[in-house]
Structure 1
């Protein structure tokens, strides 16, 4: 039989199906062969065609039946509005620094270093060895692998001056990344509805974590040199807050590093108010012109809660961090972590420990310093040439970002959209302010991919800014 015969059977059955109720049995192949004078092969082709169209379904050993049609309608989620109640805070679905970009777009928005800045050989070897060991098969202790906790404690102990008791491995709690650590710290040490002092501008992830925890964020002005200690003292007095969150080394986004004098002043204020300083040492391994100087080694009375992550410096795939806290504060944070995630993958902990204890780790950090300096300076020079209206208060001595101020009145959200249309992703500074922005800023990451395209990126930013200024 010809294909025309198969098409004739399909057309005839479609008319029959249109009148048949859902679930009706289609005439057997023998009956169709007799009705249309067709061969078994032609009838089977027709039935397969109807099945592909979704009109019939075959049940082996039973027969072929008219498929029950379903009315396509949009799902109704309105019941969730009442069930969920209003959120404690309006949170973005996905913050700009977490967005993926396509290869044709120049990405100056990301919060993570490019893969060229990651110790790939060390990471791959460490993951392979960890996968062959017991860490891949057994539960990790809730507080973390003892050897990794000892490493974090030793890192701080080496910077502890004489006369100050260094932290012990017991004071360390390993985390699945510092972001989850911030959430635990805010829940454990601040509590829902209570005030938390935060640098302004400050890390967007901490602002979001605080909002999610129901914490009331109180901004403390901060700039190229760090926060004003007098303003910090006033904020403690006016709000009754007992926790101040800050990044003393290469702050995100400003790149500020506190001077030794400012460290002493902030510690004096914190101690005078019986409060905690949550020190987020996120960029410990990203020093360029200086080395990171943690505040935690200067305090042994439990005022400083220290947070350090290896995720950015080792690999984004190895989400391992630690919090170092003393006294009841440590116990509360550990209890929260046990309820939140029970424990951190032992395999990732073992891999992270091997990477940072290999001789090649120090070599990698030296190479990383040179690479970051070259990228930072190239982006600074490119901005000076192509975006003269972008003002840098200072060139950061470390970290991953430039914090550029634009002419007052610039709509940085609109500018970011215009830049994206031009083929470059930047981040509006609005996301780094816990209250109203003190000016028009954008944050530019110089650790992203394709540094050779930085001059092109600056040219595109300058073009978009000029159009905005003309308007």
Structure 2
């Protein structure tokens, strides 16, 4: 027999089907055997291939037909509108900083340091050791491993001046990342409908956590030296707030560090108002030109609720952090955490403790400081060369980011889209404002991958600005 090929029959019938109406009947297998001079087995094989492609459908006892296109009815999610009600948060999706990596693009939007900045050898060795320990099979205490609690407490004790008793080893609560800690603090200590004073701009995740807790945000402007204490006093007086969320050291997004005078003045105001200062020390290990000076070290009576995270300096895979609180406030936060997560993986806690107690940890921090300085300075110079119309209002003494003011009138989101079409991913600054932005800003992370492309990023940003402004 000639042309005994199923693929040839398939190709010929695909052409026929393309011009036939849906539901048209194909020639019988006997007719196809005669038409193509093929064996019955070859024709049957060809028909199975066509059915697998979804082109034809068989109706037993009747024949084979051109598949009728059945348009799926779109799912109706309208019922969820009534079930969910009005959203508690203005967030409509992931933050720009959480976007997945885009192949070959220059990534300046992320909130995490590049892998080569992390203590990879220490982390891998720690995970290997703790996998063979009891921590791999046992439940952790709700407040955390006692040894890790003691380590966090000792870190704060080093910043306490003479005459101020530092937190005890039981005061820290180990949590799965500082974001979960913020949520618990806002729920436990502020509560729905209650005011929370907050710096502007500030960490977008704190804004999100507060809104999801139903907290009413009271923004106060914050500059290179922190907020004006008089503004904080007025906000407390006007709102009756009992809490102030702030980042005194290397703030996200600005990188600003409060002056010692500002920090102590704010702490005095918080004490006089019988309020809490929620001190987010997320960048404690990320100092470049300065060291952190946590205000919790000056706290005598439990006014400071302190957050310290290891996510950025150890590994984003080990989401381990701590809340240090004293008195009934600690008990309320612990109860909220226990109700949500019960406890943090002892395996991750043990691995984090192993890393930060190794002799190589201090060496890693010194190396990371040097690398961050080089990357920060390279990105700054790249912006000066490629996009001189930008205004970096402060060289950050620590952290991971540059806070960049755009020319007045710039459509930030249009600029972000234009940069993306040119292979540069950046984050719009609007996410870091608890109310309307005070101007057009973007945030650029200088700790990401491939700093050799920073000069290219500067030129792309400059060209995009010229074309969109």
TM-score after normalising by structure 2 = 0.89
Q: Output the CA distance in 2 between the equivalents of 1:397 and 1:71.
A: 59
Structure 2 gaps, min length 5: none
Cα shift readout 1:44-79 (whole Å, capped 9, x = no counterpart):
625643652456799xxxxxx999997522111111
Secondary structure of 1:167's partner?
coil
Q: Residue 312 of structure 2 corresponds to which residue in structure 1?
A: 312
Contact (CA 8 Å) 1:257, 1:397: kept in 2 or not?
A: yes
Q: CA RMSD for the aligned pairs?
A: 3.1
Note the C-alpha offset of 1:430. 1.1
Whether contact under 8 Å (2:2, 2:37) holds in the other structure is no
Matched residue, 1:360: 360
Aligned match of 1:121? 121
Q: Say yes or no: does 1:93 pair with 2:107.
A: no
Conserved in 2, the CA contact under 8 Å of 1:3 and 1:42?
A: no
Pairing of 1:176-215 with structure 2 (within 5 A): 176-215=176-215
Question: Counterpart of 1:94 in 2: which secondary structure?
Answer: coil
Q: CA deviation at 1:161?
A: 1.9
| 1:266 is the counterpart of 2:273 | no
- Separation in 1, partners of 2:466, 2:225: 30
> Which residue number corresponds to residue 427 of structure 1?
427
Q: 1:439 to 1:19 in 2, by over 3 A?
A: closer
> 2:466 maps to which residue?
466
1:448 positional shift: 0.8
**Pair 1:332 & 2:332 matched:** yes
Q: For 2:294 and 2:202, how far apart are their aligned partners in 1?
A: 18
Which structure 1 segments of 5+ residues have no match? Answer: 21-26, 59-64
- Distance in 2 between residues matched to 1:69 and 1:143, nearest whole Å: 59
Q: How many residues were matched structurally?
A: 457
Give the aligned partner of residue 440 of structure 2: 440
Measured after TM superposition, the shift of residue 227 of structure 1 is: 0.6
Kindly indicate whether the alpha-carbon contact (under 8 Å) linking 1:173 and 1:334 is maintained by their aligned counterparts in 2: yes
Q: Which residue of 2 aligns with 1:153?
A: 153
The verdict on how the C-alpha distance between 1:50 and 1:443 changes in structure 2, with shifts beyond 3 A counting, is closer
Q: 1:286 maps to which residue?
A: 286
Question: Per-residue deviation at 1:180?
Answer: 1.0
Match of 1:23 in 2: none
Q: Deviation of residue 39 (structure 1)?
A: 6.9
Offset, 1:127: 1.2
Q: Secondary structure at the match of 1:182?
A: helix
The 5 A counterparts of 1:128-139 are: 128-139=128-139
- DSSP 3-state at the match of 1:91: coil
User: Is residue 244–residue 278 contact of structure 1 (8 Å, CA) maintained in 2?
Assistant: yes
Q: Is 1:373–2:383 an aligned residue pair?
A: no
The residue number in structure 1 matching 2:246 is: 246
Quote the Cα distance in structure 2 between the aligned partners of 1:89 and 1:151.
36
- Deviation larger for 354-363 or 70-79: 70-79
Could you tell me how far apart the structure 2 residues matched to 1:308 and 1:57 are? 65
Name the TM-score, length of structure 1 as normaliser: 0.89
Kept in 2: contact 1:160–1:297 (CA 8 A): yes
